[in-house]
Copies of this chain bind each other. A is one copy, B any other.
Amino acid sequence: MSLQPVLIAGQWRAARSTEIFHAANPATDETLPGEFPVSSWADCDAVLNAAAEAANSLRVTPLEQIAQFLTRFAERIEARKADLVELAHAETGLPKAPRLGDVELPRTTNQLRQAAAAALEGSWAMPTIDTKLNIRSMLAPLGPVWVFGPNNFPFAFNGIAGGDFAAAIASGNPVIAKGNTSHPGTSQWLAEEAFAAVTEAGLPPATVQLIYRTSHADGERLAADPRTGALAYTGSRSAGLKLKAAAEQAGKPIYVELSSVNPVLILPGALAERGAKLAEEFTGSCLMGTGQFCTSPSFIVLFAGQAAEQFIGAAKQKLETTPPTPLLSASVRRSLEASVQTLRAAGAELVCGGSPMPAPGSRFANTLLRVSGEKFLTTPEKLQTEAFGNASLVVVVRDAAQAAQVLEHLEGNLTGCVYSDTQGADDALYNQLAPLLRQRVGRLLNDKMPTGVAVSAAMNHGGPFPATGHPGFTAVGIPASLRRFGALHCYDNVRPARLPAALQNRNPNGKMWRLIDGHWSQGDVVV
């Protein structure tokens, strides 16, 4: 096996490392070819120097080139699709079709193209002009962005190709990607295409850089480094909180996505009306990606009664008869097992599953647990443990008052769903309970499972802590996700020719939305 290079300052070069790691196929336990380096501080220092220089160049780079890069990168990913899908499949165990090839890769290139359009149009920066006082402001790139991609979307959230990457680049910042440990080869290949596209578009070579891993200490050091502009992290809560503390102590904006159980509340009328259909919908959603979606519904609130028991029975049957698909890694399986143990120790009863499947492969039996509302309220914190993977917990509440108490004990989540009947029988309950859920989630759904996260301008893939670090931002959706990586630049009495194009009287492209004296307009400033 050969030691793979890192991408630093426009060169694929040997890492300065002391340790190595390799990826494994979680479906077979086979070690995959290729050894990858754990970078030392020397590598971090080098990428930061190069990124700081690239950030300065990017500030004066025409937006057309940034858009061209994003578009060319999308095209190159599509051209290498078959290989990328094959490798991502080997590294993650996710199905080649439809998941990787027909859904995730097209989503990734769609995001890159949407980001290209947003970069070119420029409205994301919210140019604001006060003609009376001659004060003008807009968001501007804030500097090198570290993107720590998660394990569960090797394309769509990859540090070198995914949503955070696209948002950071489109807002004019260089990206330093920290490739996820479980799919380093996919990250490397994406970085090859990204770098080729950088060259084609004539951007500074260090616009995109890639290292694979660092020590935890170096992770905290790079988060606080003066050359760092911002960070985006999606991953485990414990590592994320350490990175967040280090970054925030140094005053660096950091956007973390840490964990979410995504509560689903099924009201009695809905259960009576279409319980069997809902059980089907729920199991389909909670097994999607072997339950390894950030928005997987793993916390279901039902009202006690025969309909609830039927729902649980139907879900059990479906879960037991569906062969478990592989988890992303042996480490995910270990965490899942530990989380299920935590839930059981706190009083949840096993309905089905609960154990790892025999080798080969990192599989876990499709798992359902249940707990009464009363029991939940005795240890609400433990019983909200995220069991990342194919496990969900049903909380069976006695009545509306207990349902309200359960909701009031929820931490911040990405999503929350309420199912109600179509004839209005659940409306009073909805009005009582939905406001409690609303305050604790970023996205509230009706009659729909949360696993689809559309790339929409109105999307919120974010939520109150600890789902994410700040409830005002979304990681998915353009242009809002770009604004995370902008610093507000105000120009007070600055001479006209010295203003950025977006703040001059003339609308630079006739399409940019600007807030001029309180009115949003695509026109020029009328003088």
**Are B513 and A130 in contact (CB-based, < 8 A)?**
no
A142 within 8 A of B: yes
Q: In the assembly, what is the distance between CA of A250 and CA of B470, in Å?
A: 11
A30 within 8 A of B: no
For A135, the chain B residues whose CB sits under 8 A away are 454, 456, 458-459
Q: In the assembly, what is the distance between CA of A253 and CA of B518, in Å?
A: 27
Q: In the assembly, what is the distance between CA of A473 and CA of B442, in Å?
A: 21
- Hey, what's the 0/1 contact readout for A503-527 against B, CB within 8 Å counting as 1? 0000000000101001110000000
Residue of B nearest to A466 (CB): B251
A459 to chain B, nearest CB (A): 6
For A148, the chain B residues whose CB sits under 8 A away are none
Residue of B nearest to A443 (CB): B490
Q: In the assembly, what is the distance between CA of A197 and CA of B491, in Å?
A: 37
A483 within 8 A of B: yes
For A430, the chain B residues whose CB sits under 8 A away are 498
* Residue of A415, A462, A470, A490 with most chain B CB atoms under a 10 A cut-off: A490
**Are B470 and A253 in contact (CB-based, < 8 A)?**
yes
**Are A492 and B443 in contact (CB-based, < 8 A)?**
yes
A14 to chain B, nearest CB (A): 31
Q: In the assembly, what is the distance between CA of A472 and CA of B443, in Å?
A: 23
Q: Which of A41-49, A104-112, A241-249 is near enough to bind chain B? A: A241-249
Residue of B nearest to A229 (CB): B471
Residue of B nearest to A137 (CB): B458
A128 within 8 A of B: yes
**Are B498 and A472 in contact (CB-based, < 8 A)?**
no
Copies of this chain in the oligomer: 2
**Are A469 and B137 in contact (CB-based, < 8 A)?**
no
A448 with B251: in contact, given A142-B471, A472-B488 (CB under 8 Å)?
no
A486 within 8 A of B: yes
Interface residues of A in 230-279 (CB under 8 A from B): 244-245, 248-253
For A490, the chain B residues whose CB sits under 8 A away are 442-444, 458-460, 474
For A473, the chain B residues whose CB sits under 8 A away are 488
Q: In the assembly, what is the distance between CA of A415 and CA of B493, in Å?
A: 13
A350 within 8 A of B: no
For A472, the chain B residues whose CB sits under 8 A away are 139, 142, 253, 483-484, 486-488
For A458, the chain B residues whose CB sits under 8 A away are 128-130, 133, 135-137, 490
Task: State which of B129, B245, B519 has its C-beta within 8 Å of the C-beta of A248.
Answer: B245
A494 within 8 A of B: yes
Task: State which of B56, B250, B465, B484 has its C-beta within 8 Å of the C-beta of A251.
Answer: B465
Q: In the assembly, what is the distance between CA of A464 and CA of B230, in Å?
A: 12
A130 with B460: in contact, given A59-B435, A483-B472 (CB under 8 Å)?
no
Residue of B nearest to A473 (CB): B488
A447 within 8 A of B: yes
A438 within 8 A of B: yes
A68 to chain B, nearest CB (A): 22
Residue of B nearest to A126 (CB): B480
Q: In the assembly, what is the distance between CA of A412 and CA of B464, in Å?
A: 28
A295 to chain B, nearest CB (A): 10
Task: State which of B137, B253, B435 has its C-beta within 8 Å of the C-beta of A460.
Answer: B137
Residue of B nearest to A430 (CB): B498
A498 with B446: in contact, given A454-B135, A487-B472, A515-B457 (CB under 8 Å)?
yes
For A460, the chain B residues whose CB sits under 8 A away are 137, 488-490
A184 to chain B, nearest CB (A): 31
A202 to chain B, nearest CB (A): 20
A228 to chain B, nearest CB (A): 11
Task: State which of B143, B244, B471, B498 has its C-beta within 8 Å of the C-beta of A487.
Answer: B471
For A130, the chain B residues whose CB sits under 8 A away are 454, 456-459
A residues sitting closer than 8 Å to B (CB atoms) are: 56, 59, 128-130, 133, 135-137, 139, 142-143, 244-245, 248-253, 412, 415, 430, 434-435, 438-439, 442-448, 450, 454, 456-460, 462, 464-466, 469-474, 480, 483-484, 486-495, 498, 513, 515, 518-520
Ordered nearest first, which 8 A-B pairs have the shortest CB separation?
A: A251-B465, A520-B520, A460-B490, A471-B487, A443-B490, A130-B458, A135-B458, A130-B456
11 extra A-B contacts, CB within 8 A, seeds A444-B490, A448-B492: A59-B435, A128-B458, A135-B454, A135-B456, A244-B248, A430-B498, A442-B489, A460-B488, A472-B484, A474-B490, A480-B488
